[in-house]
Amino acid sequence: MKFTWSLLIATLVLSHSGECINKRRAKNDDLATGNELTSSNYDEGDISSDESLMKGRDSGWDPSFLDILSSDYFDESPKAKASNKNQFVQEDEDATLPSVAGEEAEEDIGVPVAPSVEEEIVTGRPICSGCSRDVDPEDSKIQEIANFAFKNHLDSLEDDDLGRHLVRVVKAQTQVVAGQKYMVDVEMGYSNCSKAELKLSEQTCLMDPEKETFICNFEILEQKWRNHTELLLTKCDQAVNDADLLPAERDPEEAEARIGELEENSDEMEDATTTSTAAAAPQSRRRRDTKVIGNLRDADEDKDTLMELARFAVDQLDVIDEDNDARLVMDILSAKKQTVSGWLYHLKIRVAQTTCEEGTIVTYEACKDKVVLPYNVCSVKILFQPWQTVQKKITESQCAPEKMKKGKKLGKQYFKKDENSQNEITEKTLLGGFSPVDPDSQDLLELADFVTSSVDLQSNALHAQKLVRVIEAHRQVVSGIKTKMVIEMGYTSCRKSKNLDKAKCNIDESREHNFCNITVWEQPWMKTRKITDSKCGRKEELYKDNRRKRSPVVTARNLGSNIDVAITNSNLDLEEKKFGTFMAQHDKKYQSQEEYKYRLQIFRQNLQKIKLLQEYEQGTATYGVTKFADLTEEEFSKHYVGLRPDLRQKHRPAKKAEIPPITQLPDEFDWRHFNAVTPVKNQGLCGSCWAFSVTGNIEGLYALKHKNLVSFSEQELVDCDTLDEGCNGGLPENAYKILQKIGGLEAESEYPYDGRNEKCSFNASKVTAKVKGFVELPKNETEIAMWLMKHGPISIGINANAMQFYWGGVSHPWKFLCSPKSLDHGVLIVGYGVHTYPRFNRTLPYWTVKNSWGESWGEQGYYRVYRGANTCGVAEMATSAKIF
């Protein structure tokens, strides 16, 4: 009788198991085909339902009935198993099994059936129970889990106050255990704020660009029926501080033990799942191949991807150059990759300059016959951050003519020395040293004429100067051709004018000649020519230092036997080598070793600012070392800016400008094309930018009204504006009021600029432009463009933070680097435009801004700044005079 009851119970259990197996198969089929599981497909009695698993009584059978089974039949010892099996086999010969629920009993219900059923369940499932599987890192649930782990990890670092940012989820997996286990790899970066500051103002805190990002592996367990989520394990690679401070970190075995502990505890909880420990045991997490974060390694992308990056870099270089000729990528010489906050690619590209036009589709087939030799080699660094709006940007670039061995063939030409030509680059020059040049050679005389004209334009003198002779000249090849020359110039009897033919002007020998030390940098393949350094004066002033007894003045030259040796000296670090180059380029001299060290320290700090500006640049601007690179913020503000909003007079508000009703603005407009803008001027070491902004505005208005472009006097404003403080700063609206009061502006020729606060020498009888008031423009940039097009150049205030190290391109820094409310520099808007990227189907609108730091700064003295977002406060203080 005991055997009969046992068979009956076993039959009931197996019959119910078979029903569950069929339902599980059906559900798995639906999962495999992507069918949605709804209550209409599977009722509450389905063993596959998580809720029914927790509430066994609702599944159609009561698990408590198993308690009646005798332990004799379910003893797991080998001896008991053997005994039970023999008993089943022996008694089964005479037994007849009853039907269950009207169905025929299966013939073979012995113990061997169970493994076959279990095998069928396991092998028949499309989804492996208990195995980990990859999931989409961008899934909202994964993002929620990653944020939970990230915040818990930060809270566990009690002794570390440094803030961190979650950059992205790199990889994610899930696994069914006693709940749901998530395994996520998260890229993190250090913040420039503390944890407390980060919590208060997350929007203003950014990642520290000086520190590399790192990867943290998190394991999180979620048990929904308990409303419980727990961080099980934390493992961070390359974490500077985290390595020693990971209270939440556990050994993987400890994490697995914790899961087992939670499984056992879950049996005692209300509505907990009765899950087999064998089924829920977690699979060991596979070992990940983790590259060391931050190391430079070979780029593993395919050639097409790298070529696309190279073309992007070349397109950006085309954007910031001065010509309209496009470059062509010929080959990628090397490609490295570095994991930072994203990926930093280090590419060395062979580039050809062509005569194909920028903005067209530039291919080898289209431009191969328009290549200008020699080739250039460009080393570029491209930051790729796919999660950012601007995914790719150049952080550093340097191009130079490709070094060719003597006699190496380039197409049909040979790059070798021609001993019969004075104008060929000699072997000595190719090695990087200066070599003498014949002062009477035709190309040098042509260059000297260019220099003379440029120096003459900078002069405030009434009469034009003319080249007398080239005294000496030397050349050096350094990313182009650098020419140093000493020239003699003499004043002529001809007054300056735009179309003056100096050949017809005789030198006035009654006046003393000028002598100039000039350095010119040329890049023939880019068709650029720029004066990088100039010093002019009387002969005895120019050479007086040569007659003095030597002093302990520190110059680039006495850093070593010559600058080329000094900047490659192994005892100097990279930044100090750059500083030596900077000193040579800008003829910097320091009075002692102490001052040299002080300026070097400032230079190092400014290099970090340059890096930060480039890192967070949203446009196409390039930033680098300029002549201001050894100045502190206070020194730069004192001598090269000078806008003073604090000097505003508290009287009645300014009159608002009436905006002309222009229905359709052209894509670009520039008053330089209509003879309404004078050449770029230089304010020197005087905070008189506000005066240059005002005179530029009045010069444009006067040219349009009287059809005559006249350069007006900034010195009159510096000396005679009693509402402002001359070289210590001022405000355009104050200047308008003073000009209206005293009668107007004299021409530059009548009241020349000397860059110092002097006694007012205003002569009302020599006034050229009379001012009758001023207007204030709205802060809407579209309306500013309308007013500009109708009336002329506009005086504006701007934040010059991004301008100090600006080289070229469309500048669009983040607001935290260039606040629109911190205006400190007066400049002049002369036009606007839109830069287009045909390859990327993108446009970049900009303002063209005339500055007063000379033509050697920026884009020949001009600054292009992003238009449409009040970048650096460009729309905050726009004003214009009203003239008779």
**C-alpha–C-alpha distance, residues 48 and 131, integer Å:** 18
Between residues 719 and 550, the one the model is more confident about: 719
Looking at residue 719, its pLDDT comes to 94
- One fold for 300-333+350-403 and 633-883: no
Please state the φ and ψ torsions of residue 190, each to the nearest 5 degrees.
-80, 145
**C-alpha–C-alpha distance, residues 700 and 373, integer Å:** 42
Provide the token pair at 270: 């209300």
Contact predicate 874/865, CB 8 Å: yes
Report, as an integer, the average pLDDT of 644-648: 89
Looking at residue 282, its pLDDT comes to 39
Strands 669-670 and 162-177: unpaired
Shortest CA distance to 706 belongs to which of 666, 745, 680? Answer: 745
Looking at residue 838, its pLDDT comes to 58
Looking at residue 504, its pLDDT comes to 87
Q: Is 689 a catalytic residue?
A: yes
Report, as an integer, the average pLDDT of 356-385: 80
Q: What three-state secondary structure class fits 468?
A: strand
pTM: 0.43
Catalytic option among 216, 399, 689, 872? 689
Pick the CATH number of 300-333+350-403 from 3.10.450.10, 3.50.50.100, 3.30.70.1290, 3.10.20.740: 3.10.450.10
pLDDT confidence tier of residue 366, bands split at 50, 70 and 90: confident
Looking at residue 392, its pLDDT comes to 83
Shortest CA distance to 798 belongs to which of 786, 784, 789? Answer: 784
Looking at residue 565, its pLDDT comes to 36
Q: Does the structure show a pLDDT above 90 at 24?
A: no
Q: 223-232, 348-357, 376-385, 677-686 — which one is most confidently predicted on average?
A: 677-686
Looking at residue 863, its pLDDT comes to 96
Q: Does the structure show a pLDDT above 70 at 410?
A: no
Looking at residue 95, its pLDDT comes to 40
Shortest CA distance to 282 belongs to which of 302, 298, 262? Answer: 262
Report, as an integer, the average pLDDT of 568-579: 68
pLDDT confidence tier of residue 540, bands split at 50, 70 and 90: low
Residue 793 neighbours by CB under 8 Å, 6+ apart: 671, 676, 677, 696, 697, 699, 700, 701, 828, 829, 830, 850
Q: Map tokens 């039907």 to a residue.
A: 99
- Can you name the residues that pair with 174 across neighbouring β-strands? 133, 182
Please state the φ and ψ torsions of residue 120, each to the nearest 5 degrees.
-65, -40
- Give the DSSP letter of residue 370: G
**C-alpha–C-alpha distance, residues 219 and 285, integer Å:** 10
pLDDT confidence tier of residue 86, bands split at 50, 70 and 90: very low
Q: Is 16 a catalytic residue?
A: no
Percent of the chain with pLDDT over 90: 29
Q: Does the structure show a pLDDT above 60 at 385?
A: yes
CA 696-697-700 angle, 5° bins: 85
Looking at residue 477, its pLDDT comes to 62
CATH 3.10.450.10 fits 427-600, yes or no: yes
Looking at residue 797, its pLDDT comes to 96
Looking at residue 281, its pLDDT comes to 37
Q: Does the structure show a pLDDT above 90 at 703?
A: yes
Looking at residue 247, its pLDDT comes to 37
CA distance readout (Å), 881 to 288, 706, 709, 717, 876: 68, 15, 16, 14, 17
Report, as an integer, the average pLDDT of 776-794: 94
Report, as an integer, the average pLDDT of 796-810: 94
Name the percent of the chain in helix, strand, coil, to the closest 5: 35, 25, 40
Q: Does the structure show a pLDDT above 50 at 421?
A: no
Using one digit for the tens of pLDDT, what is the confidence trace for 140-151?
899 999 999 988
Contact predicate 344/337, CB 8 Å: yes
Between residues 628 and 120, the one the model is more confident about: 628
Looking at residue 87, its pLDDT comes to 44
Looking at residue 102, its pLDDT comes to 40
Q: What three-state secondary structure class fits 686?
A: coil
Q: What does CATH list as the number for 633-883?
A: 3.90.70.10
Catalytic option among 399, 799, 851, 872? 851
**C-alpha–C-alpha distance, residues 362 and 590, integer Å:** 48
Domain layout of the chain by residue ranges? 2-124, 133-280, 300-333+350-403, 427-600, 633-883
Between residues 678 and 95, the one the model is more confident about: 678
**C-alpha–C-alpha distance, residues 656 and 784, integer Å:** 12
Catalytic option among 165, 825, 835, 872? 825
Looking at residue 529, its pLDDT comes to 80
Using one digit for the tens of pLDDT, what is the confidence trace for 183-232?
999 988 888 777 776 766 565 677 776 677 889 999 999 988 888 898 88
Looking at residue 878, its pLDDT comes to 96
Least confident of 313-317, 360-364, 517-521, 589-593: 360-364
Enumerate long-range contacts of 841-849, CB under 8 Å, 24 or more apart: 844/619, 844/620, 844/810, 844/812, 846/619, 846/810, 847/874, 848/670, 848/672, 849/796, 849/798, 849/874
Q: Is 818 a catalytic residue?
A: no
Please state the φ and ψ torsions of residue 226, each to the nearest 5 degrees.
-100, -5
Looking at residue 753, its pLDDT comes to 93
Using one digit for the tens of pLDDT, what is the confidence trace for 259-313?
565 555 544 443 433 333 333 333 433 333 444 445 678 888 888 889 989 988 8
Between residues 243 and 514, the one the model is more confident about: 514
Average pLDDT of the residues of the chain: 74
Contact predicate 352/330, CB 8 Å: yes
Q: Looking at domain 133-280, which CATH architecture does it have?
A: Roll (3.10)
Using one digit for the tens of pLDDT, what is the confidence trace for 652-664?
677 898 898 888 8
Q: Does the structure show a pLDDT above 70 at 728?
A: yes
